Amino acid sequence: MREELVALAKLAAMDDSARDIETELKEIPQRLEELSAGVETLESLLAQERQQVAEAEQLKAQQTEALKERAEGLQRARKKVAQAQRIKEAEAAEREVEANRRVIREGEEELGRIRAAIEAKETSLFEREKDFKEAKGVLDSEQGSSTTRIGELERKRDEMLAGRDELVAKISPRVVRTYERLRKGLPNAVIVIEDATCIACRMALPAQLTIELRRADELHQCPHCRRIIIYKGTVED
pLDDT in tens, 81-100: 888 888 888 889 899 999 99
How far apart, in whole angstroms, are the C-alpha atoms of residue 6 and residue 210?
17
Give the model's pLDDT for residue 237.
61
Mean pLDDT value of segment 62-79? 92
**Structure-derived torsion over alpha carbons of residues 123, 129, 134, 139, reported in degrees to the nearest 10:** 150
The residues facing 192 across adjacent strands are 230
Mean pLDDT value of segment 72-83? 90
Please, what is the average pLDDT of the chain?
90
Single-letter code of the amino acid located at 124: S
The residues facing 193 across adjacent strands are 231
Give the model's pLDDT for residue 217.
86
> Measured at the alpha carbon of residue 20, what is the angle toward residues 186 and 162, in degrees to the nearest 5?
100
Dihedral angle sign, alpha carbons of residues 41, 47, 51, 56? positive
Q: Is the pLDDT of residue 149 over 80?
A: yes
CB 46 within 8 A of CB 128: yes
Cα distances from 142 to residues 42, 91, 138, 146, in angstroms, run 17, 75, 6, 6
Q: How many CB atoms lie within 10 A of CB 171?
A: 21
Q: Which residues contact 75 (CB under 8 A, 6 or more apart)?
A: none
Q: Which residues contact 104 (CB under 8 A, 6 or more apart)?
A: 67, 70, 71, 74
Q: pLDDT, tens digit, for every residue of 160-180?
A: 999 999 999 999 999 999 999
Q: Is the pLDDT of residue 234 over 90?
A: no
CA-based end-to-end distance of the chain: 13
DSSP 158: H
Per the confidence metrics, is the pTM higher than 0.75?
A: no
Mean pLDDT value of segment 72-89? 88
Is residue 237 packed enough to be buried (19+ CB in 10 Å), middle (13-18) or exposed (0-12)? exposed
Categorize the per-residue pLDDT at 211 as very low, low, confident or very high, splitting at 50, 70 and 90. confident
Give the model's pLDDT for residue 34.
93
Give the model's pLDDT for residue 61.
94
Mean pLDDT value of segment 195-223? 88
- Residue of 14, 11, 9, 3 lying closest to 156 (CA atoms): 14
**Structure-derived torsion over alpha carbons of residues 102, 106, 108, 110, reported in degrees to the nearest 10:** -170
